Structure 1
Amino acid sequence: MTVTLIGLILAMGLPSLFAFLKHGKQQGPIELWPHLIKSWGGCIAVMALVLLWERRTLASIGIVPGNYLAWLIGATLGLTILATSVISVIQASKGGKAALPEESAEGLNRLLGRPAWFRWAVVVTAGITEEIMFRGYPIERLHELTGNLWIAALIPLTVFTLAHLGGWSWGHLVGVLFGGSLLTGLYLWQRDLIACMIAHVLIDSLIIFLPALLKKLAARAARYAHAQNQAAKPF
């Protein structure tokens, strides 16, 4: 039990601590390398604990090769949510509203101001490390400890949601909780963490091409405004 508790602290406690320490610095720029090092460092520590201390395989946390149907389901879920997000941005722009939700705009703008390679790195990092640290490891180990799958799922989901306070507002947590619930449901259904990673990466990939989309929408809005002004001029 001791090694499991240490593993749970590594998986959920460290990211939560980093988020708590970072919460007061939301206005500042994202620190590129520290962000990646902390995320991958914690993830590697958890995997090392599984392989070297627990002496178990990665299958014990849901990383199983060859489950193509589960991967297809994960891809379908991720693409569906991604498409829904893109459509909502476009529709908001058409309706004269802000393209980005107010509760997410600040955090997104901090990311969108970073180089494309960093946005790629953030997406892949979140998709892999967060699924290991907030889904695969804690759900499986808490299930073993408590014997209750609902408790094993709800505790990591709650921690996962609150850990996002490090870079986002309270309002944004509603979306995080929704997405996290879908990913948790996918894991409980398929018991395949790779499927969750695929879905997570696809969902988060919106930030990769969002700058180009926003630029296109802004240009279209400018053309529309110009046409309206021209039409309003007397002959």
Structure 2
Amino acid sequence: MNKKQKIATFVGLFVALGLPFVLDLLLGIRPEDMAIPSRVILFVTEEWTLAFVLLGIVLLWERQSLASIGIKKVSWRDLLWGVLGFIVGAFSFILTMPLVNALGLGTTSSGISQLAQIPIVLRIGIVLTAGITEEILFRGYPIERINALTGRLGLSAFIAYVVFVLLHIPFWGLGGTIQIGVWSIVITILYVKRRNLLACMLMHILNDAYAFILLPLFAQYLP
């Protein structure tokens, strides 16, 4: 990695891992805001803007391919691992619920209830946005670039993991974030093992579609 690429990479890492914190502070998005369609649209716009800026840095400044951040041809085995990751991740929420309840903390259920109040079209938008852009911002790019700078894949994955989990605290609360933190271990391992971001996107989209679309639909038919 030459000097120009290193500078571009540091800027890219700020866009991926630092700018989301800055924007959250400036915009002041609160948990209850995610039940307001206009705020949801703002969130979606923010995520896609950051992702496209980051992709621009990769292609135009670093002069590297999308494969360098894990966006590459996906095999059936990658897809299978993505589905398996979704199943394991879903069980992780079930297994961590007793712990969170024992600590007297709220689970992800409260956040899901907030999102269930917005139109389904916006929920689909959130599912696709989070599943695609967050994997670019918090998995593929930072893990690959920090690894390129340090030569330590484990450290790279850990840093990306910590930032991703911390960003969930304002909306999901401490209890929900604990659950998401356990889930994030699964998807981080999936990326490190497969080095294919599309497999992680599939796992993420399936998880969020189940939580934000299917669960609210089931809930409305319950007595």
* TM-score above 0.5: yes
Distance 2:29 2:46 in 1: 18
Structure 1: stretches of 5+ with no match in the other structure? 220-235
Counterpart CA distance in 1 for 2:21 and 2:183 is 18
1:9 equivalent in structure 2: 14
Q: Does 1:119 align with 2:151?
A: no
Which residue does 2:204 correspond to in 1?
200
Match of 1:171 in 2: 175
Counterpart contact for 2:59–2:65, Cα < 8 Å: yes
Classify the secondary structure of the residue corresponding to 1:110: helix
Deviations 1:141-175 (A, max 9, x none): 00011111111011110000011123221111111
TM-aligned CA deviation for residue 26 of structure 1: 2.2
Q: 1:57 aligns with which of 43, 54, 65?
A: 65
C-alpha distance in 1 between matches for 2:108 and 2:207: 15
Contact map agreement 1:20 1:163 (CA 8 A) in 2: no
RMSD: 2.4
Q: 1:10 to 1:187 in 2, by over 3 A?
A: same
Task: Report deviation, 1:23.
Answer: 6.0
Name the structure 2 match of 1:146: 150
Deviation at 1:24, TM superposition (A): 6.5
CA displacement, residues 63-83 of structure 1 (integer Å, 9 cap, x when unaligned): 11142211221122214544x
Instruction: Give the distance between the partners of 2:157 and 2:12, measured in 1 at CA.
Output: 16
**Structure 2 residue 55 is matched with structure 1 residue 47:** yes
What amino acid maps onto 2:110 in structure 1? E
More displaced stretch, 155-164 vs 205-214? 205-214
Answer with 1 or 2: which has the greater Rg: 1
* Cα distance change on mapping 1:27 and 1:60 into 2, 3 Å: same
1:19-30 pair list within 5 angstroms: 19-21=24-26, 25-28=30-33, 29-30=35-36
State whether structure 2 residue 217 is matched by structure 1 residue 212: yes
Once the two structures are superposed, residues 37-95 of structure 1 have per-residue CA deviations (whole angstroms, 9 ceiling, x without a partner) of 1000000000111001111100000011142211221122214544x489x5xxx9xxx
State the shift of 1:215 in Å: 2.3
| 1:108-129 Cα distance to aligned partner (Å, 9 max, x none) | 1210001111111101110100
Gaps of 5+ in 2: 1-5
Point out 4+ residue stretches in structure 1 off by more than 6 angstroms.
none
| SS of 1:171 mapped into structure 2 | helix
Aligned length: 208
| CA pair 55-138 structure 1, distance change in 2 beyond 3 A | same
1:134 aligns with 2:138: yes
Amino acid at match of 1:64: K
- What is the percent sequence identity of the aligned residues? 35
